[in-house]
Amino acid sequence: MRTLAVIGLTGLPRIQPGDDLAALLVETIEANKVGLKSGDVVVVCQKVVSKAEGRVVELATVTPSSFAVHIARDTAKDARLVEVVLRQTTRIVRMAGGHLICETGPGWVCANAGIDESNGVAPGTVTLLPEDADASAEQLRAALAKASGTAVGVIVSDTFGRPWRDGQVDVALGVAGVGALLDCRGRSDMTGRDLQHTILAVADQLAAAAGLLMEKDSGTAAVLVRGFEWRATAGSGRDLIRPAATDLFR
């Protein structure tokens, strides 16, 4: 029988800019008495990664441009927030009905360029996405592997909406140690038919499983996933971004 355990790591303190997130994660795992085993994957909420890395902005320090003021009127948003969004945006994908869907520097397409107003470090602050989520994941992976002496994977996750489907799902932004994609092409299904197109977004699937325990009001910012079989590889969150050449909707 194959089983998958998804374990919420409780007790991680409220993260502030400059905190040593890796050390705090090690302490939290020890306090939860679950240890780290070879093959474990630790999924960490993007927000605590961003906070630790100082990716926060006080809206009081932001002077909105005329373009930001124009968009703010059309979307009923704070012009200062829109200005921060624009600074993180390489392309406005869609702007309608109060929604501002943007493409960010790394290539993620998401609402408000991933800028988040909830659970900030202080009132009037917003949190940005990590500048390099893969590098963030690798730093945490190296620290956890050193502390445990085992091969572990790390995923930095965030909650994204999805085209054509209601609701939000946690997805992988940064990936380290574990592959982001599982290419099943060349294998056979149960009837012996060759698989020609099946590539599984396993990092997103692991992030989504962890997201079930990461409710906004739960205070659970890290989750350990145990029992998923993977091979150590140099995975990357950017592997999950569909290239423009094969994007039929761009």
Distances (CA, A) of 130 to 20, 58, 145, 196: 15, 16, 22, 35
Instruction: Please determine, for residue 233, whether its predicted confidence score (pLDDT) is greater than 80.
Output: no
Domain ranges of the chain: 5-55+130-241, 56-126
Bigger pLDDT: 124 vs 192: 124
Lowest-confidence region among 6-10, 153-157, 238-242: 238-242
Alpha carbons 199 and 201: distance in angstroms, whole number: 7
Alpha carbons 4 and 156: distance in angstroms, whole number: 19
Confidence at residue 249, expressed as pLDDT on a 0 to 100 scale: 79
Confidence at residue 59, expressed as pLDDT on a 0 to 100 scale: 96
Length of the chain: 250
The H-or-E segment that residue 45 falls in is strand 41-45
**Residue 6: closest CA among 232, 235, 220:** 220
Cα 145–150–151 angle (5° rounding)? 80
Instruction: Please determine, for residue 217, whether its predicted confidence score (pLDDT) is greater than 80.
Output: no
Instruction: Please determine, for residue 219, whether its predicted confidence score (pLDDT) is greater than 90.
Output: no
Alpha carbons 25 and 18: distance in angstroms, whole number: 14
Using pLDDT thresholds of 50, 70 and 90, give the confidence band for residue 197: confident
Q: What is the DSSP letter of 103?
A: E
Determine the CATH number of domain 56-126: 3.90.1660.10
Average pLDDT, the chain: 91
Confidence at residue 216, expressed as pLDDT on a 0 to 100 scale: 74
pLDDT exceeding 90 applies to what percent of the chain? 72
Tell me what the mean pLDDT of segment 16-27 comes to: 96
Q: Please answer whether residues 158 and 114 qualify as being in contact, where contact means their C-beta atoms are separated by less than 8 angstroms.
A: yes
Confidence at residue 120, expressed as pLDDT on a 0 to 100 scale: 82
Looking at the chain, list the stretches that DSSP marks H as alpha helix, in order from N- to C-terminal side.
21-31, 46-52, 66-75, 79-87, 133-148, 202-211
Confidence at residue 185, expressed as pLDDT on a 0 to 100 scale: 75
For the domain made up of 5-55+130-241, give the CATH fold.
Answer: 60s Ribosomal Protein L30; Chain: A; (3.30.1330)
Confidence at residue 231, expressed as pLDDT on a 0 to 100 scale: 73
Q: Please answer whether residues 56 and 121 qualify as being in contact, where contact means their C-beta atoms are separated by less than 8 angstroms.
A: yes
Distances (CA, A) of 212 to 95, 194, 208: 29, 33, 7
Bigger pLDDT: 174 vs 245: 174
Instruction: Please determine, for residue 96, whether its predicted confidence score (pLDDT) is greater than 90.
Output: no
pLDDT in tens, 101-135: 999 988 999 999 999 988 888 899 999 999 999 99
pLDDT in tens, 43-93: 999 999 999 999 999 999 999 999 999 999 988 899 999 999 999 999 999
The H-or-E segment that residue 6 falls in is strand 5-8
Classify residue 244 by burial, with Cβ atoms within 10 Å: 0-12, 13-18, 19+: exposed
- Which residues sit opposite 182 in a β-bridge? 200
Tokens linked to 17: 């800019």
195 φ/ψ sector (left φ>0, alpha ψ -120 to 50, else beta): beta
